[in-house]
């Protein structure tokens, strides 16, 4: 089967992604209310009792808002590293010890035929991570909430069949926006969020002949537009000699309030 996934929601208002193989379903982050998560999942034919586990990238509310309620309702194990578990205490309420699973950064765990590896990213959280999924040589990488793409991150996510990559803000829109300067400085920093320009520059190193699609994710509602993000990223790719025919254009959209279509990730 390979892998298939849907980004249920992506952005500062909440983040959640479903990843499936032939015999397992995992939820990455639960940054919306349990009720909203169930609603978005129903749009893609998934129910809470189909989920086998929840993987957490970091403790910010837009990634864990509905975590406690959803996990308790469906009696689900939650996977996170020790530092994230410590930071989660005040966010999730009571979670049975048997459902608290520690996955250290860099560790690989298996769900069905799907190997899942966490990797360290740069963000202002306790110990934030991204995840790479592999099933019989099919590779899906999730990379959001990173201030910059380090060499270690690049080595983890390069040569993916499909990549979900942050393209959070347009730098000029952010600088001219209504946020206080201290928040702007945080977003622009190496522990903040990846700009459209930074996403484009990163893709120049990440794209290979193997890469089928790239989803631009975690866009700011205040300081970005999807069309602008795609235009900026594509312009940077073209300026570096990377061109795509219109019908082969690999950039895909994510949304803050609705799920992406199921994407079947298979080797060809």
In this structure, are residues 87 and 62 in contact, taking their beta carbons and an 8 Å threshold?
A: no
2 — pLDDT class (breaks 50, 70, 90): confident
Q: Is 247 a residue whose pLDDT tops 70?
A: no
**Highest-scoring range by mean pLDDT, 89-98, 154-163, 244-253:** 154-163
Same domain, 137 and 16: yes
Domain boundary among 145, 170, 192: 145
Query: How long, in residues, is the chain?
Result: 268
Residue 267 domain flag: no
**How many distinct structural domains can be found in the chain?**
2
Instruction: Judge whether 263 lies within some domain.
Output: no
Among the listed residues 18, 231, 268, 31, the one whose alpha carbon sits nearest the alpha carbon of residue 142 = 18
Q: Is the pLDDT of residue 114 over 70?
A: yes
Same domain, 195 and 64: no
How much is the pLDDT for 249? 59
**One domain, residues 138 and 52:** yes
- Percent share of the chain, pLDDT over 90: 92
Q: Are 112 and 22 in contact (CB under 8 A)?
A: yes
pLDDT tens string 207-237: 998 999 999 999 999 999 999 999 999 999 9
What pLDDT is stored for residue 266 in this prediction? 84
Q: Is the pLDDT of residue 248 over 80?
A: no
What does pTM read for this prediction?
0.96
Q: Are residues 202 and 137 in the same domain?
A: no
pLDDT digits (tens, 9 = 90+) for 122-148: 999 999 999 999 998 999 999 999 999
Looking at the fold, whether 125 and 3 belong to one and the same domain comes out as yes
Write the pLDDT tens digit of every residue in 4-30.
999 999 999 999 999 999 999 999 999
Which residue segment(s) compose the domain that 61 sits in?
Answer: 1-145
Answer yes or no: is 70 within a domain. Answer: yes
- Check whether residue 2 and residue 128 sit in a common domain: yes
Last residue of a domain, one of 85, 115, 145: 145
Tens of pLDDT, residue by residue over 47-87, are 999 999 999 999 999 999 999 999 999 999 999 999 999 99
Can you give the pLDDT at residue 242? 85
Does residue 264 belong to any structural domain of this protein? Answer: no
**Domain membership flag for residue 231:** yes
pLDDT reading at 173 higher than 70: yes
Considering the domain architecture, whether residues 73 and 197 belong to the same structural domain is answered as: no
Please give the mean pLDDT across all residues of the chain: 95
- Asked if residue 171 and residue 135 are part of one domain, the reply reads no
Looking at residue 268, its pLDDT comes to 59
Domain boundary among 145, 161, 177: 145
- Round to whole Å and give the CA distance between 98 and 39: 27
| CATH number, residue 102 | 3.60.15.10
Residues 111 and 200 in one domain: no
Residue 261: inside a domain: no
Q: Are residues 152 and 140 in the same domain?
A: no
Work out the percent of the chain whose per-residue pLDDT is above 70: 97
In a domain, 188, yes or no: yes
215 domain-assigned: yes
User: Do 178 and 107 lie in a common domain?
Assistant: no
250 band by pLDDT with thresholds 50, 70 and 90: confident
Residue 246 has pLDDT above 60, yes or no: no
Q: Do 51 and 157 belong to one domain? A: no
């Amino acid at each position: 089967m390979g892998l298939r996934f849907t980004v249920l929601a992506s952005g500062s208002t909440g983040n959640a992604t479903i990843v499936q193989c032939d015999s397992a379903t995992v939820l990455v982050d639960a940054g919306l209310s349990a009720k909203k998560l169930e609603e978005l999942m129903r749009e893609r034919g998934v129910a809470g009792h189909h989920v086998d586990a929840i993987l957490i990238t970091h403790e910010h509310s837009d990634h864990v808002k509905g975590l406690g309620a959803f996990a308790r309702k469906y009696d689900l194990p939650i996977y996170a590293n020790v530092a994230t578990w410590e930071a989660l205490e005040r966010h999730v309420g009571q979670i049975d010890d048997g459902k608290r699973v520690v996955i250290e950064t860099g560790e690989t765990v298996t769900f069905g035929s799907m190997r899942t590896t966490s990797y360290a990213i740069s963000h202002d959280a306790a110990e934030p991570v991204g995840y790479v999924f592999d099933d019989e040589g099919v590779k899906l990488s999730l990379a959001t909430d990173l201030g910059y793409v380090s060499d270690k991150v690049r080595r983890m996510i390069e040569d993916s069949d499909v990549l979900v990559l942050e393209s959070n803000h347009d730098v000029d829109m952010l600088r001219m926006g209504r946020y206080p300067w201290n928040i702007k400085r945080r977003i622009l920093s190496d522990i903040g969020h990846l700009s459209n320009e930074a996403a484009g520059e990163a893709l120049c190193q990440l794209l290979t002949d193997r890469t089928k699609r790239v989803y631009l994710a975690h866009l700011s509602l205040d300081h970005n537009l999807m069309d602008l993000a795609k235009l900026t990223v594509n312009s940077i790719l073209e300026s570096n000699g990377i061109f795509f025919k219109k019908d082969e254009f690999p950039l895909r959209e994510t949304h803050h309030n609705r799920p992406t279509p199921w994407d079947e990730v298979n080797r060809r």
